[in-house]
Amino acid sequence: LHSHLFRSAVPSTSTQQQVPIQLPKLRSSSLQEHFRIVADELTQEYKSYLNLAASFPISFPKPSQWKCVTGWTRYDHGGVVEQVEYPLEDVFFFDVETCVQEGQLPTLAVALSEKAWYCWCSERLVHLTPVPSLARLENLIPVGGTEKPRVVIGHNVGYDRARTREPYKENKSAVRFMDTMSMAIPMFGMADHQVVTYETDDSDFNLREKRYERWRDTWDDRVCRNSLLAVHQHLYRDENKMTKESKKFQEFFVKEDMNLIRQNFQVLVNYCADDNIACCQIFTKLWPEFQKRFPHPATLYGMLNMGNAYLPINENWELFYKNNEKICDETKEAGVKALISAAKQVLEELRHRNGDGAVVDAWLFDVDWSFKADHKCPEWYFKLFSKRGSAYLDVESLTSEDVIMKSAFVPLIFGNFHDICVSQLSTVPALDMSAMQFSFIKAFKEKH
């Protein structure tokens, strides 16, 4: 194994002892076929639910009036309204909204299945109860499926999943979350550097890059951003099923408080429901293409399980968080003191220098060595502090609030030789910097 991986002889420190490994029995004579058989068995039931979701009608009549009651309310497409513990169907589309001003706990959610609409409301939304100081399972959304397999579909569904109960329970859940954004990215997504090109104005682009005119339009038609709106517009270009106007309510949950959300409850739930319809429409077109491009069942298995990590959060999380915050603050304070101590050491060394031309740290040649008024320290030293008066404080009395923990200094030698690799700097002739540093030292001593 070592020879195969590293193309070298086995080191003398290696042991020749055989380590027993329990390998599963192959399901076929071919290893590739073995993985296909196993993955197909593990995804068969989930795939049947996804096939069912892809056959949903892409237009559902919404309830004329949504009830603002705690928990899940089911609105049968036939008109029956009832309270339920969680959505009854085994596959449904799901979208969660959060009052960002109050934290990350869910405020309301809407689900859409083949047979019914569902709306979930938090206790705080309905009764304006106090904001929980510590999140508990009862503050999260139940989606069922602890033992029985079921599929929840959403766009960037990891955000919604984090606000459901099942991923936090100790017992392993059989519910899986299918993300339409993750489905779209390998088909229509872009790398970060491509987004810049995509957002460049066509006229400016053609003026600067004439030779790319022929492929630009074709490429623009094949890619899109990752948002629900962008993917929907990419798939339904001529049908205008979703407009930017419908997304203005997204900012409502970011900027407004719970009172305004309650006052606009009907409008906001309808917005959330529209997102479910849009996600359903996206999935209807994505699913056949996804199976065509990625037919191996192991791909689907990976999609379902990469988004199914256990979220081990309980009442110990707050203690864990505070301990880490304490360690982080202590480390930051120590870093501040070390930084200022090093800066003071540089100034102290200059006070005892005789101007003999000894080489000064290259990082200090490109900083501001000017002295203002009656200050005894150069400007670069004052710029280390958030307030100039803090520069005269003792090191031990300084805090992270007093010091700007951000460096904009660039070593002059790297600025002059920007295009030369670091490994090649040894071949660059030595610089005669004695005249430069002498002027710095002279200016410094004139102040002392």
> Alpha-carbon distance 106 to 84, whole Å?
18
Say yes or no: 130 and 267 in one domain: yes
Examine the fold and report which residue of 315, 342, 361 is the final residue of a domain before the chain moves on.
315
Query: Which pLDDT belongs to residue 248?
Result: 74
In this predicted structure, what is the pLDDT of residue 115? 94
Q: How many CB atoms sit inside 10 A of residue 344's CB? A: 14
In a domain, 89, yes or no: yes
**83 and 139 inside one domain:** yes
Residues 288, 336, single domain; the answer is no
Secondary structure letter of residue 148 according to DSSP:
S
> Is residue 45 one of the residues assigned to a domain?
no
Determine the pLDDT at residue 139: 93
| 63 and 129 together in one domain | yes
Distances, alpha carbon 21 to alpha carbons 6, 25, 29, 215, in Å: 21, 12, 20, 53
Query: For position 96, what pLDDT does the model report?
Result: 97
Helix (H, G, I), strand (E, B) or coil at 267: helix
Q: Are 152 and 270 in a shared domain?
A: yes
* Half-sphere exposure of residue 169: CA atoms within 13 angstroms, side-chain side: 19
Kindly tell me the burial class for residue 378, based on how many C-beta atoms sit within 10 Å of its own C-beta (0-12, 13-18, 19 or more).
buried
Find, among 264, 282, 379, the residue nearest to 56 by Cα. Answer: 282
Residue 341 within any structural domain of the chain: yes
Last residue of a domain, one of 285, 315, 345: 315
Residue 332, in any domain of the structure: yes
Q: Which residues contact 179 (CB under 8 A, 6 or more apart)?
A: 154, 155, 156, 157, 158, 303, 307
Tell me the C-alpha distance between 79 and 350, whole Å: 84
Q: Spell out the per-residue pLDDT of the chain, length 448, in tens.
A: 666 666 667 666 656 666 777 888 888 888 899 999 999 999 999 999 999 999 998 778 899 999 999 999 999 988 899 999 999 999 999 999 999 999 899 999 999 999 999 999 999 999 999 998 778 889 999 999 778 899 999 999 999 999 999 988 888 889 999 999 999 999 999 988 888 888 876 665 555 555 556 677 788 889 999 999 999 999 988 665 566 566 677 788 988 899 999 999 999 999 999 999 999 999 999 999 999 999 999 999 999 998 887 666 655 677 788 889 999 989 988 888 888 888 888 887 777 765 444 445 666 666 777 777 767 788 888 888 888 888 888 888 888 888 876 655 444 444 444 444 443 334 333 434 444 444 444 554 554 5
pLDDT of residue 112: 96
Q: What Rg do the C-alpha atoms of the chain give, in angstroms?
A: 31
Burial of 271 (0-12, 13-18, 19+ CB in 10 A): buried
Alpha helices in 174-296 (DSSP H): 180-188, 192-199, 202-208, 213-222, 228-235, 248-255, 258-263, 265-293
Assign residue 242 the CATH number of its domain.
3.30.420.390
Nearest 10 degrees: CA dihedral of 234, 235, 238, 244?
-50
Residues 398 and 377 in one domain: yes
Residues annotated as part of the active site: 95
Q: What is the pLDDT of residue 212?
A: 57
Write the single-letter amino acid at 340: I
- Does any domain span residue 205? no
Residue (of 268, 186, 277) closest to 228 by Cα position: 277
Give the strand order in the sheet containing 108-112: 81-84, 71-76, 116-121, 108-112, 91-97, 150-154, 175-179
For CA atoms 272, 278, 281, 282, the dihedral sign is negative
What pLDDT is attached to residue 403?
Answer: 84
Q: Is residue 12 part of a domain?
A: no
Model pLDDT, residue 362: 65
Classify residue 361 as exposed, middle or buried by CB count within 10 Å of its CB (0-12, 13-18, 19+): exposed
Query: Whole domain around residue 329: which residue ranges?
Result: 320-446
Cα 307 to Cα 179: distance, rounded to the nearest angstrom: 8
Same domain, 233 and 296: yes
Query: What pTM was estimated for this model as a whole?
Result: 0.67
130 and 246 both lie in a single domain: yes
Residue type, 95: D
Asked if 309 and 326 sit in the same domain, the reply is no
Q: Which of 260, 282, 315 is the last residue of a domain?
A: 315
Count CA atoms within 13 Å of residue 188 on its CB side: 26
386 in the same domain as 299? no
3-class state of residue 220 by DSSP:
helix
Within 8 A by CB and 6+ apart from 334, the residues are none
Residue 126 in any domain: the answer is yes
308 and 333 together in one domain:
no
In a shared domain, residues 168 and 73: yes
Q: Are 93 and 84 in contact (CB under 8 A)?
A: no
Domains contained in the chain, number: 2
What is the Cα–Cα distance from 144 to 169, expressed in whole angstroms? 12
Identify whether 27 is part of a domain.
Answer: no
